[in-house]
Amino acid sequence: MKAFAAVDVIRAKRDGATLTDDQIRWVVDAYTRGDVAEEQMAALAMAVFLRGLDARETATWTGAMIDSGSRLSLPVERPTVDKHSTGGVGDKITLPLAPLVATCGAAVPQLSGRGLGHTGGTLDKLESIPGWRAELSVDEIIAQLNSVGAVVCAATADLAPADRKLYALRDVTGTVESVPLIAGSIMSKKIAEGSAGLVLDVKTGSGAFMKTRSDAEELARTLVDIGTAHGVATTALLTDMNTPLGAAVGNAVEVAEAVEVLQGCGPADVVELTVALAREMLALAGISADPAAVLASGEAFETWCRMIAAQGGDPSAPLPRPAHVTVVESPADGYVSALDAYAVGVAAWRLGAGRARKEDPVQHAAGIRCLAKPGERVTEGQPLLELHTDTPDAIPAALAALTDAVQTTDTPPGPRTLILGRVS
């Protein structure tokens, strides 16, 4: 492979030039091998963030990320289908969704990530469960898919290793919200993991990386086109992220809420989105089943217990509880008209649910419980939010993030539309 000077590639993109296929393949390969330094890739990521990549550059970037490692082969009897969310606040959907779709007859190899910016990470949430482990070998993944039907774990070390490095770097360099970088990150892992079908949950709103619907639609179309070009049946739902999903935001609190959903209860919006995504996944897998009925029956909870136990976790063990709880009360009577997802996500992150640097740990007990959601009537002094943390010094900063998070009006707001559209 022809070698380039990293600074020349950075300057080219900084100045708005279109990178050649050879430049892209070289820089991704050299970064993976350590020949391009972290600060150089950080500069290139910022140049891409500001200047963008066209369709060809994005396709080549994604292919280079895939080729930085190996591709999984999944010899399982069931049809394979996966789901990916672009990230939100309170987005614990993977937790009930994977066992639900497995209960309906598909195999779900859900290779997940950790928290990115103000959004939570599925692996961080699941590590709240005593004994549960995220790191599995390929043989363990295949065995669990055959025995349980679902696995949620970290990507293996040789699966798109370039993305593993770049994913963490983007989080701490302000380069997360870039369509080509998001698309390359998502699709390199998902194509390399070997699923035959993929459903994408592309979020839009204050708590999403794509703030506007037009940006979300652009990302959805980019993702679907990349998947289709690589032979993976791909569809996307556009979903609202102006309001947190469910009542729980954080780690252990979201696991507890997911369990409620799996037991046939839980918040209506979490149930709605879980069922909608399950229907899309089952359609791609060619399976005729009613996920709403299966979820209501509690059958998927049994699959959840087996999935957690297969990865060393104790599904009946108590979840971590916070050392400190602070309550935010309503300042007036009225109807909750808005609950800003971004503000809640930032507050949960400041409480310890997320990380400021890629090497930071998270607090499993940290998070927020939303005690009133838009449309609900509240009275002055009524608890609105419950802040959980093990570090009370973090509470003032979290409260500052929540200054204008909750809005009330004298009349109830209109109903929320959770699912905004579909791209296929």
Length of the chain as a residue count: 424
- Give the number of other CB atoms < 10 A from CB of residue 357: 8
Cα–Cα distances (Å) from 326 to 323, 341, 367, 383, 392, in that order, read 10, 19, 11, 10, 9
The C-alpha atoms of residue 130 and residue 37 are separated, in whole angstroms, by 37
Q: Examine the pLDDT at 418 and tell me if it is beyond 80.
A: yes
**Residue 398 and residue 254 share a domain:** no
Tokens of 33: 């091998």
- Confidence band (pLDDT; 50, 70, 90) for 258? very high
Please indicate, yes or no, if residue 260 is contained in any of the structural domains.
yes
CATH number, domain containing residue 32: 1.20.970.10
Please indicate, yes or no, if residue 59 is contained in any of the structural domains.
no
**Residue 343 and residue 274 share a domain:** no
- Confidence band (pLDDT; 50, 70, 90) for 155? confident
The C-alpha atoms of residue 41 and residue 7 are separated, in whole angstroms, by 10
Backbone CA torsion sign across 386, 210, 283, 78: negative
Domain boundary among 310, 345, 371: 310
Known catalytic residues are 84, 163, 170, 185, 189
**Residue 204 and residue 300 share a domain:** yes
Q: How many domains does the chain have?
A: 3
**Residue 100 and residue 127 share a domain:** yes
- pLDDT tens per residue, range 11-33: 999 999 999 999 999 999 999 99
Domain boundary among 310, 339, 355: 310
Instruction: Output the pLDDT for position 244.
Output: 98
Instruction: Output the pLDDT for position 116.
Output: 65
Instruction: Output the pLDDT for position 117.
Output: 66
CATH number, domain containing residue 118: 3.40.1030.10
Compute φ and ψ for 302, nearest 5 degrees: -65, -40
Section 262-283 average pLDDT: 97
Please indicate, yes or no, if residue 222 is contained in any of the structural domains.
yes
Q: What is the pTM of this model?
A: 0.91
Torsion of CA 155, 55, 168, 189, to 10 degrees: 0
CATH number, domain containing residue 363: 3.90.1170.30
Q: Percent of the chain scored above 90 by pLDDT?
A: 85
Q: Examine the pLDDT at 410 and tell me if it is beyond 80.
A: yes
Q: Is 139 left (phi over 0), alpha (psi -120 to 50) or beta?
A: alpha
Q: Give me the domain span that covers residue 11.
A: 6-52
Query: Could you tell me if 424 and 202 are in contact, meaning their C-beta atoms sit under 8 angstroms apart?
Result: no
Terminal Cα-to-Cα distance of the chain (whole angstroms): 36
**Residue 193 and residue 136 share a domain:** yes
Which parts of 159-281 are beta strand (E)?
197-204, 233-240, 248-250
DSSP-based three-state secondary structure for 322 = coil
- Give the number of other CB atoms < 10 A from CB of residue 196: 17
Please indicate, yes or no, if residue 317 is contained in any of the structural domains.
no
**Residue 227 and residue 159 share a domain:** yes
**Residue 297 and residue 176 share a domain:** yes
Instruction: Output the pLDDT for position 118.
Output: 76
The C-alpha atoms of residue 333 and residue 145 are separated, in whole angstroms, by 51
